[in-house]
A and B are shown apart, each in its own frame.
Chain A
């Protein structure tokens, strides 16, 4: 009788499978992000052509605008998209049972899955973040670029939050609890958008990052409940 233990090639296989599964959602999200980022940049370019770059500085410094409003909800959308694309198929036709039957420790398995989605989102967010940073650093002072970039961070956190919550909602087996989780998710995500002033969240970013990462445990909770047979 051969014995197996969890080995790197299992993690690699799961990773490859998750990437394959979310491939479409990933490219969609990336396309969406690229579209809105380009849209935002073209918008600034238009302001520069019509009113001069001075106007951009003036509006940014005096009117608290960062010209990035059009990308505000895009990371959130991406988080949702990737989360649903990754976890919804698991919930159809007993697939999660088959996934959990794989001879791989349950939490390791889930964490590998979540890491895939998290990583994909990070790639998308990073591309956008760097694009905005590079573009802005050419036309505004570094302090202002920082100011603009810091202002986008809560949006990315909202995206990750949406991702983890959508995963937890999908993996949860009971409809009633799914609804409640979705409502809580809506509440948490809203918190990242209630104060539109640039820099408003700077002081809470670190705790917010910790809370966001802790949300992975919500998915573990859903799996544990699934294991106990708490399914509709």
Chain B
């Protein structure tokens, strides 16, 4: 009994410290992450890499479209950046009357640039969220002009879709039947593997859902005048969809994004309901582990994938979706975390910036912490020998691999 209670106490103490000490360390040594921001210039076909630190002037570098890096690039002033990236900084250019009439063979105006301005983000945090299994359906063709909050929710079962009237929390069997039939008739196999929608009345239009059925086919489903609208998305053969993201961007040319089971990214064009693969070297993206940011413009789509290893930027031609630029920024280990590597043999965290789940994850294994572990273990061993304390001797053995996380509890909880 007493032995078990000791084991539990030490195990709990070690676990708590393995989480708390690295957390405390990170809290006490804040390091500003200096992830750069990139834009792709339609004028020079180069990357414009901006880095800014709080209170300092931004450092802007012009880097080659492929294979370039910041150190070999050319430093440019802010004014030059503005004219090189008119898709982003057209407001500044207009203010100084510097916006040209044509860029890269396209006629431009502030209005035109604004219309094609599009922005999309999605993080693993969102992707990995726990969903209750109920979704909301908006009316995409409201009687009045503006959208309103959804009046019905739905669940997807093995055999169909079931609508629930929110007002009285009862099933709307009529609508359920109509949607199920429409979906089945278009080849939708229940249940759904993934659903994506952007439910809010604070947007200009509603495209409903992108849904992946149980076989990995992608469908566009929405409610129009209370009736189902179901369309299958044309995908290259043998592609099995894995994650879909609806993107109701302002010029309505892109319906959404998708990844397949091989983690290849696709853009879904509204025109023709077609999923077009995004070509790129090293362009695979696992939306469950990496976040995606897309900036669309009249000229190009700039995509950033950010994961634990760093961030990768890709630029695609807006019309052809041809890869026109690529630049990678591997994650740099900060000095602070290098030092941590000498102290902590591993770290335990319950949360992660890549999901919204709480469960223990052991990471950052560091052999560099072994010398400290050895030193602490020896200290404890000597103390244990002096006190003839068997528990402390076990503690010394545990301190060897577990380092400071085992040392502290055995030192502090050792019997007097």
Q: Which of B9, B169, B413 contacts A141 (CB 8 A)?
A: B169
Is there an interface contact between B199 and A61, defined as CB atoms closer than 8 Å? yes
Do A217 and B5 contact each other (CB < 8 Å), given the known contacts A61-B153, A187-B20, A230-B415? Answer: yes
The smallest C-beta distance from B12 to any residue of chain A, in angstroms, reads 6
Residue A224 at the B interface, CB < 8 A? Answer: yes
Is there an interface contact between A191 and B5, defined as CB atoms closer than 8 Å? no
Is there an interface contact between B136 and A58, defined as CB atoms closer than 8 Å? yes
Is there an interface contact between A218 and B9, defined as CB atoms closer than 8 Å? yes
Contacts of A221 in B (CB 8 A): 2, 5-6, 8-9
Scoring B residues 9 to 20 as 1 if CB is less than 8 Å from chain A, else 0, what string do you get?
100110011011
Contacts of A204 in B (CB 8 A): 358-360
Contacts of A140 in B (CB 8 A): 134, 169
Instruction: Return the chain B residue nearest A224 by Cβ.
Output: B2
Instruction: Return the chain B residue nearest A144 by Cβ.
Output: B132
Instruction: Return the chain B residue nearest A151 by Cβ.
Output: B130
Contacts of B134 in A (CB 8 A): 57, 61, 140-141, 143-144
Residue B364 at the A interface, CB < 8 A? Answer: no
6 residue pairs of the A-B complex, CB under 8 angstroms, read: A53-B166, A61-B132, A143-B133, A147-B130, A200-B357, A221-B8
Query: When chains A and B are docked, how far (Å) is the Cα of A188 from the Cα of B9?
Result: 12
Contacts of B6 in A (CB 8 A): 221
Do A57 and B166 contact each other (CB < 8 Å), given the known contacts A188-B12, A218-B5, A230-B415? Answer: yes
Residue A94 at the B interface, CB < 8 A? Answer: no
Contacts of B150 in A (CB 8 A): 54, 57-58
Query: When chains A and B are docked, how far (Å) is the Cα of A202 from the Cα of B153?
Result: 23
Scoring A residues 210 to 228 as 1 if CB is less than 8 Å from chain B, else 0, what string do you get?
0100110110110010000
Query: When chains A and B are docked, how far (Å) is the Cα of A125 from the Cα of B357?
Result: 24
Query: When chains A and B are docked, how far (Å) is the Cα of A143 from the Cα of B169?
Result: 12
**CB interface residues, B 356-412, toward A, < 8 Å:** 356-360, 412
The smallest C-beta distance from B173 to any residue of chain A, in angstroms, reads 15
Is there an interface contact between B130 and A200, defined as CB atoms closer than 8 Å? yes
Is there an interface contact between B415 and A215, defined as CB atoms closer than 8 Å? no
Contacts of A180 in B (CB 8 A): 13, 412-413
The smallest C-beta distance from B175 to any residue of chain A, in angstroms, reads 15
The smallest C-beta distance from B402 to any residue of chain A, in angstroms, reads 16
Is there an interface contact between A194 and B350, defined as CB atoms closer than 8 Å? yes
Do A197 and B136 contact each other (CB < 8 Å), given the known contacts A191-B350, A221-B6, A230-B415? Answer: no
Do A217 and B8 contact each other (CB < 8 Å), given the known contacts A54-B150, A204-B359, A224-B1? Answer: yes
Query: When chains A and B are docked, how far (Å) is the Cα of A64 from the Cα of B145?
Result: 28
Contacts of A214 in B (CB 8 A): 8
Query: When chains A and B are docked, how far (Å) is the Cα of A177 from the Cα of B408?
Result: 13
Is there an interface contact between A141 and B356, defined as CB atoms closer than 8 Å? no
- Nearest 9 CB-CB pairs, A to B? A199-B130, A221-B5, A147-B132, A187-B16, A195-B358, A197-B356, A217-B5, A143-B133, A224-B2
Instruction: Return the chain B residue nearest A107 by Cβ.
Output: B1
Do A141 and B13 contact each other (CB < 8 Å), given the known contacts A194-B358, A195-B358? Answer: no
Contacts of B356 in A (CB 8 A): 195, 197, 200
The smallest C-beta distance from B379 to any residue of chain A, in angstroms, reads 19
Contacts of A176 in B (CB 8 A): 412
- Chain B CB count within 10 A is highest, among A138, A139, A141, A202, for A141
**CB interface residues, B 132-161, toward A, < 8 Å:** 132-136, 149-151, 153, 155
Residue B351 at the A interface, CB < 8 A? Answer: yes
Residue B237 at the A interface, CB < 8 A? Answer: no
Contacts of B97 in A (CB 8 A): none
Query: When chains A and B are docked, how far (Å) is the Cα of A194 from the Cα of B20?
Result: 12
Residue B167 at the A interface, CB < 8 A? Answer: yes
Residue B129 at the A interface, CB < 8 A? Answer: yes
Residue B200 at the A interface, CB < 8 A? Answer: yes
Is there an interface contact between A184 and B16, defined as CB atoms closer than 8 Å? yes
Instruction: Return the chain A residue nearest B6 by Cβ.
Output: A221
Residue B275 at the A interface, CB < 8 A? Answer: no
Is there an interface contact between B149 and A54, defined as CB atoms closer than 8 Å? yes
Do A187 and B169 contact each other (CB < 8 Å), given the known contacts A200-B357, A201-B358, A220-B2? Answer: no
Contacts of A195 in B (CB 8 A): 350-351, 356-358
Do A62 and B136 contact each other (CB < 8 Å), given the known contacts A141-B153, A217-B1? Answer: yes
**CB interface residues, A 56-82, toward B, < 8 Å:** 57-58, 60-62, 64
Contacts of A188 in B (CB 8 A): 12, 16
Contacts of A58 in B (CB 8 A): 136, 149-150, 199
Is there an interface contact between B416 and A230, defined as CB atoms closer than 8 Å? yes
Residue A133 at the B interface, CB < 8 A? Answer: no
Instruction: Return the chain A residue nearest B415 by Cβ.
Output: A230
The smallest C-beta distance from B249 to any residue of chain A, in angstroms, reads 19
The smallest C-beta distance from B194 to any residue of chain A, in angstroms, reads 16
Query: When chains A and B are docked, how far (Å) is the Cα of A76 from the Cα of B138?
Result: 39
Query: When chains A and B are docked, how far (Å) is the Cα of A195 from the Cα of B133?
Result: 20
Contacts of B153 in A (CB 8 A): 57, 61, 141
**CB interface residues, B 2-52, toward A, < 8 Å:** 2, 4-6, 8-9, 12-13, 16-17, 19-20
